[in-house]
Structure 1
Amino acid sequence: MTDDRDAALDALKDQLSELLAAQRRLRGRDAGQRKGGLSFPQYRLVRELARAPGGELAASQLAAAAELSPPTVTQMLDQLAACGIVERTRSERDRRVVTNRLTDEGRRRLEEKDAAHAQKWRETFAALDRDELLAGAAVLERLSRLYDDL
Structure 2
Amino acid sequence: MPAELSATEALGLWHRVTLEQVRQGGYDLSFRQLSILLHIYLVPPPHTVRGLAATLGVSKPVITRALDSMGALQLVDRVRDERDRRNVVIKRTLSGALYLEKFGDLIRSEARRPMP
Shorter-chain TM band: 0.5 to 0.7
**In the alignment, is residue 112 of structure 1 matched against residue 102 of structure 2?**
yes
Aligned length in residues: 98
| Residues 42-99 of structure 1: per-residue CA shift (max 9 Å, x gap) | 2221110012323x3001212333x251322210101111111111000011111101
Partner of 2:37: 46
TM-score in terms of structure 2 length: 0.66
Partner of 2:3: none
Q: List 4+ stretches of structure 1 deviating above 6 A.
A: none
Unaligned runs of 5+ in 1: 1-14, 126-150
Provide the C-alpha distance between the structure 1 equivalents of 2:100 and 2:57, rounded to a whole number of angstroms: 19
**Structure of greater Rg:** 1
Distance 1:64 1:119, change over 3 A: farther
Question: What's the CA shift for 1:116?
Answer: 1.1
Of 83, 86, 100 in structure 1, the residue corresponding to residue 73 of structure 2 is: 83
Unaligned runs of 5+ in 2: 1-5
Instruction: Give matches, 1:1-150, under 5 Å.
Output: 36-41=26-31, 42-54=33-45, 56-65=46-55, 67-70=56-59, 71-123=61-113
Distance 1:94 1:75, change over 3 A: same
> Is the helix fraction higher in 1 or 2?
1
CA contact (8 A) 1:43 1:110 kept: no
